[in-house]
C-alpha cells in the first residue's frame, strides 16, 4: 500500500510503503518542478528497479548502441525494434523472476534460434562499448553476472 506524506513546513512529499506496522520511505518528491529535482527523482526511481526491469533497460541500451553505430541508424530500425520487443517480452516472462541470472548462465534457453543469433550479435558488439556509453550500467551488469 502506498501512502503520500507531507513533511513539515517544507514542500516535500514522500511516497511510503506500509509493511504491516513499519513505514519505509521510497523516495521524496519535491513540489518544485525544476529540472534538477526531476532528475533526482528519476535517479531514485531507477535505483528501485527490479532485476528484470534493470535487465530490460540494459538490453535496450545495447540494442540502441548496435543500431546507431553498427547499422548507422539515428533511431531504432524496425528489425531492432522487433528484437527489443522480443527481448523485453522474454525477460518479462522469465520463470526465475527476481532470482534471474544473466541469460548466458541460464539453464533455460527461451529465445528462438534466429532471435538468439541476433541478440548474441548485438551483445558481442555493444557489450564492450557499454563501458564508454553507459559505464555504470555496464559495471552493474558485470557484477550481476
Give residue 26's pLDDT.
47
Q: What is the average pLDDT value for the chain, to the nearest integer?
A: 75
* Nearest Cα residue to 83 out of 121, 132, 47: 121
Mean predicted confidence (pLDDT) in 70-76: 89
Cell of 131: 563501458
Taking the C-alpha atoms of residue 74 and residue 37, their distance in angstroms, rounded to an integer, is 29
Give residue 18's pLDDT.
41
pLDDT higher than threshold 50 for residue 90: yes
This prediction's pTM: 0.63
Query: pLDDT band at residue 82, thresholds of 50, 70 and 90?
Result: very high
pLDDT higher than threshold 90 for residue 115: yes
* Nearest Cα residue to 116 out of 145, 143, 90: 90
Cα separation of the two ends of the chain: 32
Amino acid at each position: 500500500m502506498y501512502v503520500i506524506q507531507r513533511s513539515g513546513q517544507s514542500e516535500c512529499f514522500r511516497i511510503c510503503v506500509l509493511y504491516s506496522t513499519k513505514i519505509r520511505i521510497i523516495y521524496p518528491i519535491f513540489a518544485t518542478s525544476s529540472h534538477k529535482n526531476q532528475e533526482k527523482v528519476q535517479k531514485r526511481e531507477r535505483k528501485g528497479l527490479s532485476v528484470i526491469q534493470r535487465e530490460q533497460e540494459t538490453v535496450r541500451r545495447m540494442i540502441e548502441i548496435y543500431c546507431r553505430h553498427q547499422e548507422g541508424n539515428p533511431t531504432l530500425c524496425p528489425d531492432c525494434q522487433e528484437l527489443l520487443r522480443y527481448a523485453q517480452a522474454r525477460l518479462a516472462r522469465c520463470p526465475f523472476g527476481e532470482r534471474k541470472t544473466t541469460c548466458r548462465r541460464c539453464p533455460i534457453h527461451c529465445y528462438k534460434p534466429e532471435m538468439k543469433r541476433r541478440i548474441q550479435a548485438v551483445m558481442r558488439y555493444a557489450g564492450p562499448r557499454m563501458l564508454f556509453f553507459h559505464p555504470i550500467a555496464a559495471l552493474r551488469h558485470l557484477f550481476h553476472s
